[in-house]
Amino acid sequence: MTIMAARTLLVAPGRHGAYPTIGDALGNAPDGGVVAIAEGTYPETFELAGRRLTLRAHEGGEVVLDGTGGDWPVLAVRGGSLALHGLTIRAGAAAVQAEDVELTVERCALSTEAGPALVVRGCGRFTVNRCTVDGADQGIVVESSSGRIDETTVANIAGDGIVLGLGADPELRNCVVSDCGQRGVYVYRYARPVIESCEVSRTAHDGISVAQQSRPELRRCKVHDVGGVGIAFAAGCAGAVDSCQVDNSAAPGILVADGATPTVTEPARRAVSSGDSGLDDLLGDLDAMVGLPGVKAEVHAVVDEIQVNEWRRHAGLSVGTVSHHLIFAGAPGTGKTTVARTYGQLLKSLGVLSKGQFREVSRRDLVGQYIGHTAEKTSVVFEESLGGVLFIDEAYTLSRQAGAGGDFGQEAIDTLVKLMEDHRDEVAVIVAGYTAEMREFLDANPGLASRFSKTIEFENYSPEDLVQIVGRMVAAGDYRLDDAAAPVLREHFARIAADPNFGNARDARRLFEGVRKAQSQRLRLLGRRPETAELRALTARDVLAVTG
pLDDT at 529 over 60: yes
Which three-class secondary structure state does DSSP give residue 474? Answer: helix
The answer to whether residues 21 and 106 belong to one domain is: yes
Across 5-9, 149-153, 376-380, 520-524, which has the greatest mean pLDDT?
149-153
Q: 493: pLDDT confidence band, cut at 50, 70 and 90? A: confident
pLDDT at 88 over 90: yes
Q: Is residue 538 part of a domain?
A: yes
How many distinct structural domains can be found in the chain? 4
Q: 372: pLDDT confidence band, cut at 50, 70 and 90? A: low
The answer to whether residues 357 and 446 belong to one domain is: yes
pLDDT at 200 over 90: yes
Q: Is residue 535 part of a domain?
A: yes
- Domain boundary among the residues 256, 271, 286 is at 271
Q: Name the phi and psi angles at 547, rounded to 5.
A: -85, -20
Contact 369, 404 (CB under 8 A): no
Residue 173's pLDDT is what? 94
The answer to whether residues 107 and 38 belong to one domain is: yes
Q: What is the CATH number of the domain that holds 530?
A: 1.10.8.60
pLDDT at 344 over 60: yes
Q: What is the pTM of this model?
A: 0.52
Q: Is residue 141 part of a domain?
A: no
Q: Is residue 485 part of a domain?
A: yes
Residue 284's pLDDT is what? 76
Q: Is residue 149 part of a domain?
A: no
The answer to whether residues 396 and 320 belong to one domain is: yes
Q: What is the CATH number of the domain that holds 66?
A: 2.160.20.10
pLDDT at 205 over 70: yes
Q: 117: pLDDT confidence band, cut at 50, 70 and 90? A: very high
Residue 275's pLDDT is what? 36
The answer to whether residues 289 and 262 belong to one domain is: no
The answer to whether residues 323 and 452 belong to one domain is: yes
State the Cα–Cα distance between residues 530 and 536, nearest whole angstrom: 10
Q: Evaluate the CA torsion angle 255, 256, 262, 267 in order and state its sign.
A: positive
The answer to whether residues 443 and 298 belong to one domain is: yes
The answer to whether residues 299 and 438 belong to one domain is: yes
The answer to whether residues 27 and 124 belong to one domain is: yes
Q: 187: pLDDT confidence band, cut at 50, 70 and 90? A: very high
pLDDT in tens, 383-396: 888 888 888 888 88
Strand partners, 120: 98, 142
Show the domain range for 64: 1-134
Q: Hey, what long-range contacts does 507-513 have (CB within 8 A, 24 or more apart)?
A: 507/333, 507/466, 508/333, 508/461, 508/466, 508/469, 508/470, 508/473, 509/473, 511/470, 511/543, 511/546, 511/547, 512/470, 512/473, 512/474, 512/477
Contact 81, 98 (CB under 8 A): no
Q: Is residue 154 part of a domain?
A: no
Q: Is residue 424 part of a domain?
A: yes
- Domain boundary among the residues 404, 426, 458 is at 458
Q: Percent of the chain scored above 90 by pLDDT?
A: 39
Q: How far is CA 351 from CA 246, 280, 388, in A?
A: 21, 14, 11
Q: Is residue 143 part of a domain?
A: no
State the Cα–Cα distance between residues 197 and 105, nearest whole angstrom: 20
What is the secondary structure of 74-140 as a DSSP string? SEEEESSEEEEESEEEEESS-SEEEES-EEEEES-EEEESSSEEEEEES-SSEEEES-EEEEESEEE
The answer to whether residues 404 and 286 belong to one domain is: yes
For the chain, the average pLDDT equals 85
Q: Evaluate the CA torsion angle 474, 156, 166, 100 in order and state its sign.
A: positive
- Domain boundary among the residues 245, 271, 297 is at 271
The answer to whether residues 290 and 428 belong to one domain is: yes
pLDDT in tens, 291-341: 888 888 888 888 888 888 878 777 777 766 667 888 888 888 888 888 888
pLDDT higher at 436 or 500: 436
The answer to whether residues 111 and 81 belong to one domain is: yes
* Helix (H) or strand (E) run with residue 355 in it: none
